[in-house]
Amino acid sequence: MTARATDAERDPIGSLDRDDLDPDPFRQFAKWYDLVRRSGTREPTAMTLATASADGAPSARTVLLKGVDDAGFLFYTNYESRKGRELGDNPRAALLFYWPHFDRQVLICGTVARERPEASDAYFAIRPRDSQLGAWASDQSRVIAHRDVLEQRLAALAQRFQGRDVPRPPHWGGFRLIPTSFEFWQSGSARLHDRFRYERAEGTAWKIERLAP
């Protein structure tokens, strides 16, 4: 079990004040994320992805962040999975990073678009071969009779692609969430936590507001 961070190990922000925040939420996210990554926390890229169907039925699962820049937050999945189908029907989603070691979380909401095919090709090419074969073998989110179905498919695919590169399946690739809002939350005493929201104002500026916890 990962030990709880000591005060000395935590970010020097301490209590979170408006003046401490970077005007740009991407830079503020990078500051927190880099601290978590350097701390040795297991799976610092893990984030909860919340989606909804066309009629508003919600679902959530944990995925891994594979890239972030000014264009948004990138992750990869099966386009025919539940999340892939929901994002196709309702291209809005939320990402939640929770870092208990630091008593912090970040909520990011926005619209979602598929990553460029050539970018998905490039990422797929550097995945471990077993993961590449697994992307072909699994009809993600579909009902199967037993595990043997997956293992038999995997064995057949290993034979099919023996001695050559595994291409990216057409049903697998990246999604990028383009943020419309960020919330930065930090634990406080007496459950009076610090919580700030960034939202797009007119033009390209971000408006920052403190929220009651």
* List of residues 6+ apart from 39 with CB closer than 8 A: 5, 9, 101, 102
Q: Report if residue 99 sits inside a domain.
A: yes
13: confidence class by pLDDT, cuts 50, 70, 90:
very low
> Residue 112 in contact with residue 91, Cβ under 8 Å?
yes
Q: Report if residue 145 sits inside a domain.
A: no
Q: Report if residue 57 sits inside a domain.
A: yes
Is it the case that residue 82 has pLDDT exceeding 90? yes
Q: Report if residue 134 sits inside a domain.
A: no
Q: Residue 23: give its domain's CATH number.
A: 2.30.110.10
Q: How remote is the C-alpha of 13 from its chain's centroid?
A: 24
Q: Report if residue 118 sits inside a domain.
A: yes
Q: Report if residue 161 sits inside a domain.
A: no
Q: Report if residue 200 sits inside a domain.
A: yes
Give the pLDDT score at 14: 61
pTM beyond 0.75: the answer is yes
- CA max distance for the chain: 61
Residues involved in catalysis:
191
Cβ-count burial 166-195 (b if 16+ within 10 Å, e if not):
bebbeebbbbbbebebbbbbbbeeeeebbb
- 137 vs 133: CA distance, rounded Å: 6
> Residue 157 in contact with residue 179, Cβ under 8 Å?
no
Give the total number of structural domains in the chain.
Answer: 1
12: confidence class by pLDDT, cuts 50, 70, 90:
very low
Q: Report if residue 152 sits inside a domain.
A: no
Is it the case that residue 7 has pLDDT exceeding 60? no
DSSP annotation of 90:
S
Task: Say which range, 36-50, 131-145, 156-170, has the weakest mean pLDDT.
Answer: 131-145
Task: Determine the structural domain holding residue 205 and report its residue range.
Answer: 18-127+170-210
Residue closest to 182 by CA, chosen among 49, 68, 17, 26: 26
